[in-house]
């Protein structure tokens, strides 16, 4: 049976027309399952190849051409010169070393200069960089760099706290370990500014 016949959509309305890319990825997933000795006629594995292919394409959307968030900046008319923070922004990513999830929360702050951005854009920017095989260190750095380059703020800081399933499920098998990374620019090199960041973070 060809993959086109086996691939049905989840609505159950009939065979789905899968993109060439989904079918190419699905073929590799089938090869992997085959090497692992799995019976792909089992009802639970029958469409796993296509499901996994679609899932990867969804989780790696940040790699797509033109996926970069279009961030409109606004003039800082009020001359706001203090910290703007979005905290506890949840995210999911996949570690580049094992392709298993790492996930947690990001806290992002900047101090505007000439331009400000809409608050929802913090999460957009984070998601864009999270939706690809990623390292937490690189994710942290990419987000702070985006703020620096697009907004030219007085300063910016990003802290990410995450759990890595490659640490919890395999290898050293340490459930609950939290990895914390931070990156900063400009005014955040000042200890007092970093303390304000931490104060805002603690304040609920």
With binding defined as CB under 5 A, does residue 139 bind Zn ion?
Answer: no
**Shortest Cβ distance from residue 144 to Zn ion (Å)?**
22
With binding defined as CB under 5 A, does residue 162 bind Zn ion?
Answer: no
Considering only residues 30 to 89 of the shown chain, the ones binding Zn ion according to CB under 5 A are none
Structure tokens at 182: 């931070």
Structure tokens at 9: 């959509």
**Shortest Cβ distance from residue 165 to Zn ion (Å)?**
8
- Stretch of 7-15, 28-36, 93-101, 181-189 lying at the interface with Zn ion (CB under 5 A): 93-101
Figure out which of the listed residues 97, 170, 174, 189 binds Zn ion, where binding follows CB under 5 A.
97
End-to-end CA distance of the chain, in Å? 57
With binding defined as CB under 5 A, does residue 98 bind Zn ion?
Answer: yes
With binding defined as CB under 5 A, does residue 166 bind Zn ion?
Answer: yes
Q: Are 144 and 160 in contact (CB under 8 A)?
A: no
- Stretch of 73-81, 90-98, 153-161, 192-200 lying at the interface with Zn ion (CB under 5 A): 90-98
- Stretch of 49-57, 97-105, 155-163, 193-201 lying at the interface with Zn ion (CB under 5 A): 97-105
Residue closer to Zn ion, measured from CB, 38 or 178: 178
Residue closer to Zn ion, measured from CB, 76 or 179: 179
Q: Are 162 and 103 in contact (CB under 8 A)?
A: yes
Residue 38: strand pairing partners: none
DSSP three-state, residue 139? helix
Figure out which of the listed residues 52, 95, 109, 144 binds Zn ion, where binding follows CB under 5 A.
95
Q: Are 173 and 61 in contact (CB under 8 A)?
A: no
Cβ neighbours for 187, distance < 8 A, ≥ 6 positions apart: 111, 154, 155, 193
Helix axes 120-130, 136-151, angle to 10 degrees: 130
With binding defined as CB under 5 A, does residue 21 bind Zn ion?
Answer: no
**Shortest Cβ distance from residue 183 to Zn ion (Å)?**
20
Q: Are 149 and 109 in contact (CB under 8 A)?
A: no
Structure tokens at 140: 């942290």
What does the binding site for Zn ion look like in residue numbers (CB under 5 A)? 95, 97-98, 166
């Amino acid at each position: 049976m060809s993959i086109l016949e086996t691939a049905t959509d989840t609505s159950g309305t009939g065979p789905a027309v899968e993109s060439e890319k989904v079918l190419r990825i699905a073929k590799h997933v089938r090869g992997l399952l085959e090497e692992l000795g799995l019976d792909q006629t089992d009802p639970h594995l029958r469409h796993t190849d296509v499901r996994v292919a679609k899932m990867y394409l969804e989780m790696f959307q940040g790699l797509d051409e033109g996926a970069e968030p279009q961030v409109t900046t606004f003039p800082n008319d009020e001359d706001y010169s203090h910290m703007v923070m979005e905290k506890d922004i949840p995210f999911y990513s996949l570690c580049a070393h094992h392709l298993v999830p790492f996930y947690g929360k990001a806290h992002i702050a900047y101090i505007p200069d000439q331009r400000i951005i809409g608050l929802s854009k913090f999460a957009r920017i984070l998601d864009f960089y999270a939706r690809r095989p990623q390292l937490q260190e690189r994710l942290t750095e990419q987000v702070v760099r985006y703020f620096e380059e697009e907004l030219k703020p007085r300063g910016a800081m990003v802290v990410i706290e995450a759990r890595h399933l490659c640490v919890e499920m395999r290898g050293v098998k340490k459930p609950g370990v939290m990895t914390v990374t931070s990156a900063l620019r400009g005014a955040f090199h000042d200890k007092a500014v970093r303390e304000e960041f931490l104060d805002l973070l603690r304040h609920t």
